[in-house]
Structure 1
């Protein structure tokens, strides 16, 4: 690899204009693609296979009107008094304008909604009174009906008795008429026979006529009574019809009363379900407006957000203050702000102090900016085709700037040092690319592998996040090993200041004795390795190792209480509108109002609308019985009456442990709820999403850490051909990782120094920060390990004794590692106050992680332990040494490629000189291998009891 990069560096120098032109064309193409194909970034995270995602997908498909994003607008009176009529009208007018916007589905009037809630109980009381009065009237009507029926029955009986009596009388009259007829016939026969005297005949006829008259009178009386009974019967029939009509009316009233009872019970249950919900605060000074959007809140363009704020802000002219939730005010299209620029300024100052000229200092910055442009531009060009989290380009920007500056710096610093040592420009560029560039490639490879491994958790947003950042790092590496050499060729000797040239010319350092002659230049008391921090550490290796480990161990203690969640409005700056809205909602309406939970219930088949609503209320009743639930409100049912939506308001905020427990309790109770209501329950929303993300990441974190550690061991084994160095490097990485976790928990979760770092409300750490920190910090830690220890190995394979090589290698590598760490820390620290809330804790964790890893682990613990180990630090079994490919990370083979006659000398024993290769290369057992190319240990070195002094 070193040989290839050496040739690549010289090629880039010779064809510098072609290389520069090719990069310009490529960057222009990437820029145009980003402009043409950039899509909308999002803060919504897809979590395949989780209950949250399954429920959300179902909601979008079957009830899309409830799947859009939402935000809150909070109005408060400036004078602390109740809203006036004019203020209410102003708010209502603004909300009407908002609902006219294409992107807004609904902006409900809080005064109307609150009045409906307040009037609900009065309406229930009125309905209850009406039902009571109706029941009394129904009771009286039924009593009157019963009396009427009794009267009709009595009348019917009287008529029946009268008709029976008339029938008896009629029978008597009929019998009398028959007897009279017989008597008349007998009398007529007797008269014809002359058997009755005329006088007696007349008397008998008179009697018969009198009887006839009596019978006629009786018949007339019967006929009159019959007419009376017929009239009475007719009147009774009419009365009976009226009674029947009254009975029917009473039955209808009874049904209406029964329905009224059901409606009253339903209204009572509905009122109970909204108990605890308010839209106007109890003191009357604050109202909360829930605005729902037709699509995702993240999809709102900056222009739409501004329009929403302008319209809603019109009401402030009446003496109102207005604040907006983070869904409305957060513009995730901005990923670079003033804080990040400050970080770059600090990095520029460090570069200027280290390299001495504006040209030299500006070159790494330019390379970093171009690398970021290529990486972030390429990422954004795909954002229209791939759902991309808002943090994706921000993270790529942060990493791209940090590693881009560092990678270019390592090559520029090496080239500058070689120029001052008298090396010819082309040879110096080739060697700098072949040595430092080699380390850059392997360091970059570790970062790329670690970031790409973020695809392991199978979370799409995290996979895109890791791959985009890995792509940006790859661009930084490519630019460092191709464009940097080309530009160095154009800059030429101007890279070095005149003062540095004069100082180099005036230097009269004695020539170093070649390692082949058996001496060790680093053993000289005035050698660089015997001065400074490296000498201080290696003189007290046990003490410094113990102090370093204890320091990191103490800092790691808070990590034991690490809690994760997704950021909410409480994480925004204290003076921001989003934070003010969050606090007002919490204070006036309850903390849970900031993070409602959405429940989807699969209802039994075959229900009508009333049955479905009742079933939904049954579910709400069950949910309200769970501890920590303030309200469970049915908000909708689909047309098929098979799916119901409920909104659950917890007692605490979305990131509070109590809310997480509420979600757990609901999920645990879902089986019992299903048994009780025959309805399957599933939860979705921000709160459940953060819980599911945290659980998924916690599950895969050990696997991911194992992959990272395994890669670390394999890669470093390949680079350094040592068993001990990879173990030491990985152990140090774990220490710095835990310490950075601890510091992050102390600041962002416990609130230590919260005022300094702008932590408005201490709370859980962002869910995916731990896995991000592992991946990124691992890559960066391996960067410093490669840069620092490769210097030690370079000194070692070029003839120095093991402990002396630790000092001299440290002395040559430490300045550039120190500068790189300070630069990277500055860049990361700039993001602590980023406009994008989610990136702040990441910036802090990475800044503190880089500081600890670079200065405590790599520059203190590592040289101390390697000095203690001596030759044992480079131990590798012979069979493994033969199997491993020789990657020549120290560039020992480059000297053989040097152009004859070129100035290649260097007063620096860590540099590859023409005589550093060849017969001095031997194996670890003292057998010389003249053809080893310097990649193995010199045969004549011994690691005796006095080696610690060498």
Structure 2
């Protein structure tokens, strides 16, 4: 009983700082300190539990195997086409792929070899049919269509791989064989790049400079790696229940490493300062968890809340991405709150062992009147000039956002060594890029003889429609009341011209051909499904943004008891995400700085990326917002001097926020320079730019300028609103970020 009373008393004392009166600490607010103390005292049990849990989860995940699926469709007219195919043309209800043959000499000389290859593919499992080869006008290329019995997301990888291996076994020095199409992408994936290793290496260097100690540097890295490892195993298991895309684990690792290292960084920094202030290791740990630990817990909660906005979209693959990322954040947060205190218990005073020469000042050095304090005063002395310059810079960076075009990127962006990219290039050169993404048109014919005449006239009309390269022969079902047509556009699947062709067919050509008849013609296929999905996600983006901003506004208002602060935070976060959107459009859609970023082919932005970028960036930006504003609020309550509070808050948090942001920028940026997947390149650049802008232009220029101009209005909250708004608190002490 006495030990419990002492623990409670210590926690209460540690929640205060110099000049503050110790008082009762709310039970919920003090919980991280209690959890940290328990984990410190039972560190061997905690460490053993994490090791056993990690091994058990990896064993279960390895036993079941992951079940990642790239299923991005399911909305609009393309889904209706899929439903009709399933009912009326069961043999055509699956997805199709293309096997391409190319010879430097006349392709006719390889006719026997091509026939043998196609005959070898026909009897394979999951293959419904293989069409006769279609020779190109160049005389060197031919391709055939492979019809599978299921959509790509439901195809078994081994069965697809067997098709690939069989086809490519017929390749010879004078005959190239390549396969393309969405089903082939199920089995063909680029080898992961060393992105995570590069990001971790950069984080190690940054923390060595910031901490000057190998042990202090190693703990955040170790905690983040354990959290990400557990998160990967959990995501692999969840992939059996939810639709988790194949790039989900890489995305999870990107986010998990960033937030995991950052969260542990804040707590280790606070722990080291406690030791410097004369506390024993256990008291320093309680101090760190009761202050920085609470801030980390609150910051992690904001990330989770923002990610929950993705469930508004109503798409299975985004539900899977959201769930996977949420699990990643939860696992690294759990590791930070439980495993890190246990490891600090083992480290004790040796946290500063193995120091490296020449680092920056120790994390325990006071920041008062230092570089960041002087910088804040410079901004505060010229708030209009500095704020206007920062705002103008952000608006200029955000300008390309208004030209963003949402569409799924095609196989032309795959690495050159993949067979999907090789098939794409061969088809584009010999037939035209549109042969990589045929449109599938389905006609419903009630049965009248005149309906067949309408369809015949429609087929003839297709030959004159701009943007159509070729239309294959129409196929009827057994009862003659439905037909399917395959149309090849002149433009590639991700092109705006292809999207315009789909719109022209649906809104003009089809209505003109079927007006006054009972014939119903729908436009679908994999390319059209991507177009429909892009449109759907584009309409949901404003709703997600609106809900996340509303929830964060209420949360910040409850914490900081202010109207101006949450409004400012929402506006500045929108500016940060706008700058990030502008950067990815300029680089990957317009091709600016393409040599620097290794962009070999420009294209649209995959429609899920802006959604994920907003939710993640908003959550991470709120982390820095909370860390900065909680310190400013503390100084305001003590001094009632807004200008001094802002300067002290910037000074106290500037270096640690800069180090944390630098780590995130390096982790995210590593996916830009050395990852083979374009989607991860785009995502990594967007997040890196957003964090860089947020931690520099926004936090260090725009925020102090606006808060200086607002003065006491920063802390105004109407009394009636104060009465009905729940009270949340993030207790800090004077040295939390020193």
TM-score of the two chains, using structure 2 as the length reference:
0.89
Q: Quick check: 1:448–1:471 contact (8 Å CA) kept in 2?
A: no
How far apart, CA to CA, are the structure 2 residues paired with 1:565 and 1:39?
27
Matches within 5 A, 1:578-597: 578-597=420-439
Give the equivalent residue in structure 1 for 2:149.
294
Q: Which of residues 521, 524, 530 in structure 1 aligns to 2:373?
A: 530
How far 1:505 moved relative to its partner? 13
How far apart, CA to CA, are the structure 2 residues paired with 1:12 and 1:57?
55
How far apart, CA to CA, are the structure 2 residues paired with 1:301 and 1:500?
52
How far apart, CA to CA, are the structure 2 residues paired with 1:343 and 1:506?
23
Give the equivalent residue in structure 2 for 1:776.
616
Q: Which of residues 852, 857, 866 in structure 1 aligns to 2:693?
A: 852
Give the equivalent residue in structure 2 for 1:322.
177
Q: Quick check: 1:46–1:460 contact (8 Å CA) kept in 2?
A: no
Matches within 5 A, 1:444-455: 444-455=300-311
Q: Quick check: 2:190–2:415 contact (8 Å CA) kept in 1?
A: no
How far 1:334 moved relative to its partner? 7.4
How far 1:480 moved relative to its partner? 1.3
Q: Which of residues 102, 105, 109 in structure 2 aligns to 1:81?
A: 105
Deviations 1:467-488, CA, capped at 9 Å, x for gaps: 2212221222222112211211
Residue 584 (structure 2) pairs with residue 732 (structure 1): no
Change beyond 3 A, Cα 1:345–1:73? farther
Matches within 5 A, 1:471-870: 471-497=327-353, 522=368, 526=369, 530-531=373-374, 533-574=375-416, 576-605=418-447, 616-669=455-508, 670-675=510-515, 678-799=518-639, 801-832=641-672, 833-870=674-711
Q: Quick check: 1:564–1:765 contact (8 Å CA) kept in 2?
A: yes
| Aligned-CA RMSD value | 3.1
Residue 45 (structure 2) pairs with residue 18 (structure 1): yes
Residue 126 (structure 2) pairs with residue 103 (structure 1): yes
How far 1:746 moved relative to its partner? 0.6
Deviations 1:798-835, CA, capped at 9 Å, x for gaps: 44733222222222212221121111112212222433
Q: Quick check: 1:340–1:834 contact (8 Å CA) kept in 2?
A: no
Residue 94 (structure 2) pairs with residue 68 (structure 1): yes
How far apart, CA to CA, are the structure 2 residues paired with 1:678 and 1:549?
58
Q: Which runs of 5+ in 1 are unaligned?
A: 111-278, 513-520, 893-908, 914-950
3-state DSSP class of the match of 1:477?
helix
When structure 1 is superposed on structure 2, of 548-557 and 492-501 the one drifting more is 492-501
Q: Quick check: 1:635–1:647 contact (8 Å CA) kept in 2?
A: yes
Matches within 5 A, 1:333-348: 336-348=192-204
3-state DSSP class of the match of 1:813?
helix
How far apart, CA to CA, are the structure 1 residues paired with 2:533 and 2:135?
34
3-state DSSP class of the match of 1:316?
coil
How far 1:757 moved relative to its partner? 2.0
3-state DSSP class of the match of 1:563?
coil
When structure 1 is superposed on structure 2, of 587-596 and 418-427 the one drifting more is 418-427
When structure 1 is superposed on structure 2, of 285-294 and 775-784 the one drifting more is 285-294
Q: Quick check: 1:798–1:910 contact (8 Å CA) kept in 2?
A: no
Q: Bigger radius of gyration, 1 or 2?
A: 1
How far 1:381 moved relative to its partner? 0.8
Change beyond 3 A, Cα 1:302–1:56? closer
Change beyond 3 A, Cα 1:502–1:15? farther
When structure 1 is superposed on structure 2, of 782-791 and 499-508 the one drifting more is 499-508
Change beyond 3 A, Cα 1:388–1:54? farther
Change beyond 3 A, Cα 1:353–1:648? same
How far 1:358 moved relative to its partner? 2.7
How far apart, CA to CA, are the structure 2 residues paired with 1:912 and 1:318?
65
3-state DSSP class of the match of 2:105?
coil
Q: Quick check: 2:242–2:319 contact (8 Å CA) kept in 1?
A: no
Deviations 1:209-266, CA, capped at 9 Å, x for gaps: xxxxxxxxxxxxxxxxxxxxxxxxxxxxxxxxxxxxxxxxxxxxxxxxxxxxxxxxxx
How far apart, CA to CA, are the structure 1 residues paired with 2:355 and 2:66?
51
Change beyond 3 A, Cα 1:604–1:885? closer
When structure 1 is superposed on structure 2, of 625-634 and 802-811 the one drifting more is 625-634
3-state DSSP class of the match of 1:106?
strand
3-state DSSP class of the match of 1:761?
coil
Q: Quick check: 2:190–2:418 contact (8 Å CA) kept in 1?
A: no
Matches within 5 A, 1:29-428: 29-48=56-75, 50-77=76-103, 80-83=104-107, 85=109, 87-110=110-133, 279-299=134-154, 303-304=158-159, 306-325=161-180, 327=182, 328=184, 331=187, 336-428=192-284
How far apart, CA to CA, are the structure 2 residues paired with 1:401 and 1:390?
19
How far apart, CA to CA, are the structure 1 residues paired with 2:465 and 2:361?
82
How far 1:677 moved relative to its partner? 5.4
Q: Quick check: 2:444–2:519 contact (8 Å CA) kept in 1?
A: yes
3-state DSSP class of the match of 2:409?
coil
How far 1:762 moved relative to its partner? 0.7
How far apart, CA to CA, are the structure 2 residues paired with 1:560 and 1:17?
55
How far apart, CA to CA, are the structure 2 residues paired with 1:569 and 1:507?
48
Give the equivalent residue in structure 2 for 1:922.
none
3-state DSSP class of the match of 1:101?
coil
Deviations 1:861-898, CA, capped at 9 Å, x for gaps: 11232234343322333443444444331336xxxxxx
3-state DSSP class of the match of 1:386?
coil
Q: Quick check: 1:828–1:843 contact (8 Å CA) kept in 2?
A: yes
3-state DSSP class of the match of 2:527?
helix
How far apart, CA to CA, are the structure 2 residues paired with 1:508 and 1:436?
14
Q: How many residues align?
A: 708
Q: Quick check: 2:211–2:363 contact (8 Å CA) kept in 1?
A: no
Q: Quick check: 1:629–1:650 contact (8 Å CA) kept in 2?
A: yes
How far apart, CA to CA, are the structure 2 residues paired with 1:405 and 1:449?
20
Q: Which runs of 5+ in 2 are unaligned?
A: 1-27
Q: Which of residues 320, 334, 345 in structure 2 aligns to 1:464?
A: 320
How far 1:105 moved relative to its partner? 3.1
Q: Quick check: 1:450–1:775 contact (8 Å CA) kept in 2?
A: yes
How far apart, CA to CA, are the structure 2 residues paired with 1:330 and 1:341?
26
How far 1:10 moved relative to its partner? 1.4
How far apart, CA to CA, are the structure 1 residues paired with 2:47 and 2:700?
36
Q: Which of residues 863, 880, 894 in structure 1 aligns to 2:721?
A: 880
How far 1:282 moved relative to its partner? 1.2
How far 1:586 moved relative to its partner? 1.8
Change beyond 3 A, Cα 1:808–1:720? same
How far apart, CA to CA, are the structure 2 residues paired with 1:677 and 1:740?
50
Deviations 1:78-132, CA, capped at 9 Å, x for gaps: xx432362x332232222222232233334442xxxxxxxxxxxxxxxxxxxxxx
Q: Quick check: 1:619–1:677 contact (8 Å CA) kept in 2?
A: no
Change beyond 3 A, Cα 1:500–1:762? closer
How far 1:564 moved relative to its partner? 0.7
Matches within 5 A, 1:926-937: none
TM-score of the two chains, using structure 1 as the length reference:
0.70
Q: Quick check: 1:612–1:641 contact (8 Å CA) kept in 2?
A: no
3-state DSSP class of the match of 2:472?
strand
Change beyond 3 A, Cα 1:335–1:4? farther
Deviations 1:498-552, CA, capped at 9 Å, x for gaps: 659999999999xx9xxxxxxxx95xxx456534x44443444333212211111
